[in-house]
């Protein structure tokens, strides 16, 4: 059953926020085609007052979304380089990814569209849905502040997106948690769980560097065990980097299966 486009209560419930200024939400759902038609009607009636649309709110919502996602990724994944963070953020704020929460909110049913846009199927157009979602984010921000907008972004955009990246084995985006990914990979190959060993700790207390080694035991099918080392300014970071090296190597074993194991390092050997 489609929602009543004139009753925004269901949308507010889905957003998790009751608007103090309902006009902000209404503007976020107003396409420029509807606003221009309304202005024409007003002009014909002798009151050429401008009508607000959601284009400027889309601009603000895009900025709020980008900031929240950037800050969350910065805090959650200190081991990622700038390029990896940018790549992951680009995925999370892409139109392809934002289309899902826009459809889940049924934003298309609430849009105020001009007659021409309505006839051309505007309620299902990807661009209109995504732009309106960003405008709704701006409405949340303007009505209740960053914390409320951030809660919505985390719940509806960020967490599902990170879960999608982690589960998509074919994704070329960074794996979110390499220790978990490595654990899953070694389990799938029948190996025992990997171990993490501190190899070296050096530097003054305020600038410590740790070298951790991820040790992966041999597999029941005869594939030899191996190890990979990495450095970091915390043990946790070094473990994640070592796990990534080991995970990457396991993926190469999968790709090269059937070519023999002559390139497989001996047990717990460190590649040069």
For 142, half-sphere exposure in the C-beta direction (CA atoms, 13 angstrom radius) is: 21
Provide the phi-psi class of 190: left if phi over 0, else alpha when psi is between -120 and 50, else beta: left
Question: CA-CA distance, 100 to 102, in Å (whole number)?
Answer: 5
Rounded to 10 degrees, the C-alpha dihedral 174/176/182/184 comes to -120
Pick from 178, 182, 202: which is nearest to 192 by CA? Answer: 182
- Residue reference for tokens 């970071």: 237
Residue 2 parent element (H or E): none
Q: What is the CA radius of gyration of the chain?
A: 25
| Whole-number Cα distances in Å, 259 to 2, 115, 245 | 56, 62, 21
- Residue reference for tokens 């934003």: 107
Active-site amino acid positions: 62, 134
Question: CA-CA distance, 134 to 213, in Å (whole number)?
Answer: 44
């Amino acid at each position: 059953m489609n929602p009543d486009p004139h009753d925004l209560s269901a949308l507010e419930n889905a957003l998790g926020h009751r608007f103090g200024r309902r006009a902000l939400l209404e503007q976020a759902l107003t396409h420029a085609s509807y606003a221009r038609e309304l202005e024409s009607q007003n002009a014909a009636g002798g009151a050429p007052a401008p009508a607000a649309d959601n284009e400027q709110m889309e601009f603000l919502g895009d900025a709020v979304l980008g900031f929240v996602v950037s800050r969350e990724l910065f805090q959650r994944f200190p081991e990622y380089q700038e390029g990896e963070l940018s790549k992951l953020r680009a995925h999370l704020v892409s139109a392809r990814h934002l289309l899902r929460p826009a459809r889940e909110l049924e934003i298309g049913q609430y849009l105020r569209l001009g007659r021409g846009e309505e006839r051309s199927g505007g309620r299902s157009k990807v661009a209109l849905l995504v732009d309106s979602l960003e405008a709704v984010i701006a409405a949340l921000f303007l009505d209740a502040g960053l914390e409320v907008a951030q809660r919505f972004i985390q719940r509806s955009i960020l967490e599902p997106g990170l879960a999608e990246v982690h589960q998509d084995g074919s994704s070329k985006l960074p794996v979110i948690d390499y220790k978990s990914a490595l654990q899953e990979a070694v389990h799938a190959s029948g190996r025992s769980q990997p171990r993490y060993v501190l190899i070296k700790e050096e530097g003054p207390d305020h600038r410590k560097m740790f070298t951790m080694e991820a040790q992966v035991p041999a597999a029941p099918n005869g594939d030899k065990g191996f190890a990979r080392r990495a450095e970091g300014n915390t043990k946790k970071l070094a473990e994640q980097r070592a796990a990534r090296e080991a995970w990457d190597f396991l993926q190469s074993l999968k790709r090269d299966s059937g070519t023999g194991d002559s390139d497989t390092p001996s047990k717990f050997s460190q590649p040069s």
